[in-house]
Amino acid sequence: MDFKGKNCPVCSEKFKEDDDVVVCPKCGAPYHRDCYAEKGKCIFPELHKEGKAWKSTLTDEDDKDIEENSEEDENLVVCRHCGHKNSKDSIVCEKCGDFLTAPTFIGNFSDMDEEDFENFKEQMRNASPIFQNGNFYVNGVSPYNFGIDKDEDFEGASVEEVSHFVGSNSLYYLPVFSRIKKFNTSRFNFAAFIFGGGWYFYRKQYLKGTLITLFTMFVTIAQSFVDYFWANELFENLEKALSESGVTPSYTEYYNWITQNYSTQQIAIMCLPTVFWLIRLAIIIFCGLFANRGYYKHTVRSIKKVKDKNPDPEKKKLLEKLTQKGNVKPGLAVMLITCENIICMAAAYFFTTIK
């Protein structure tokens, strides 16, 4: 069979007359020999299971027309799947949703191993936009729909509305929101765990971000205050006493000396810094565990408010308002985290100078 003019399903390059082509014995899919060696097997296992034969998506005439049209207008990208013309900055075809530019690994997504597929999903989460030209692509962004039905309803908010409100990293939050709604289960949010109040400001949840930041700052400053003015002195006296007695320091010796020489109040003061540290740890763990649930409620509530204030608006204008109301504020988040760190360090420095 002559495959000249057809596309290799791995590299998408057209076969030429002198190309070394190998054909899958089960479905008949053609590959460049190097491309087949790279994959190590046919990338169409579903055809093998169903007993079907590979079929080129486009005819030679279609390929020729696409090339000619692409040369005529450099500002358009023609979809290799359906032939639709898309704007140059498009990531997926606005008509069929197929990729206009290939990801790092090309082929059948069901044939990827778990690591490759996770890497691919991470690529798609960071891809921008996942909606374009008034059309929405959750199902269309790849053959795998990330477990989201494009018609799914989030307590009165559509998938498209939620996506516009969330903005950055929508393909992470949409499946999470779906799990929260259907099964009341969420995922641990490592960004909220690491950045605390800064993450809430990043996601425009200013009240929660302010309260968490203030509480974290209070606990941190209180820990520094107790350390510098009380606890450190008690620990220094303990170390000095054990050193002068010539006793080899051990947990038993520490415990015996403390219980014999310090009052209950002094022992409590020595434990306070650790208690404050545990409180800070509890705060960031709480953020990591419940950030997604809180953000889901915030998203749905905010979308409903926008829709209540703008009854029956044009879809385009509504989506624009949701994008303005939601999305992210990275600059404000960085400013908050920076100010929090500066204040805490300044407080610690102040305590050391006045002690």
pLDDT tens for each residue of the chain, 355 residues long: 567 777 788 877 888 878 888 888 777 788 888 888 887 888 877 777 776 777 665 444 444 544 444 444 566 777 655 566 777 656 555 555 555 554 433 334 445 555 665 665 555 544 433 443 333 443 334 323 344 566 678 998 988 888 889 887 777 788 888 889 988 988 899 999 999 999 999 999 999 999 999 999 999 999 999 999 889 888 888 888 878 877 677 778 888 888 888 999 999 999 999 999 999 999 999 999 999 999 999 999 999 999 988 877 787 888 888 989 998 999 999 999 999 999 999 999 998 888 6
Specify the DSSP class assigned to residue 6. P
Q: Which amino acid is at 188?
A: F
What are 103's two structure tokens?
Answer: 């990801």
Complete domains list, the chain, with CATH: 1-56 (3.30.40), 109-187 (no CATH), 195-354 (no CATH)
Distance CA 216, CA 211 (A): 8
- Helices (H) then strands (E): counts for the chain: 14, 8
Contact predicate 54/95, CB 8 Å: no
pLDDT at site 12: 75
Distance CA 143, CA 46 (A): 13
Describe the crossing of helices 330-354 and 206-226 by its angle, rounded to 10 degrees: 20
pLDDT at site 337: 93
pLDDT at site 238: 85
Distance CA 185, CA 265 (A): 43
Distance CA 179, CA 29 (A): 38
In the chain, the largest separation of any two C-alpha atoms, in whole Å, equals: 96
What are 51's two structure tokens?
Answer: 């007993």
Q: How far is CA 179 from CA 167, 171, 293, in A?
A: 19, 13, 10
Q: How far is CA 189 from CA 162, 211, 338, in A?
A: 18, 19, 21
Beta bridge partners of 99: 92
pLDDT at site 138: 39
DSSP per-residue letters across 104-126: SS-S-GGGS-HHHHHHHHHHHHH
Q: Which of 70, 66, 69 is nearest to 81 (CA)?
A: 66
Strands 85-87 and 76-78: antiparallel
Residues 6+ apart with CB under 8 A from 349: none
pLDDT at site 133: 37
Residues 6+ apart with CB under 8 A from 300: 154, 155, 156, 157, 162
Distance CA 196, CA 216 (A): 9
3-state SS of 297-332 is HHHHHHHHHHHHHCCCCCHHHHHHHHHHHCCCCHHH
Q: Which of 15, 332, 43 is nearest to 200 (CA)?
A: 332
pLDDT at site 255: 84
Distance CA 84, CA 89 (A): 14
pLDDT at site 71: 45
Beta bridge partners of 30: 23
Contact predicate 161/319, CB 8 Å: yes
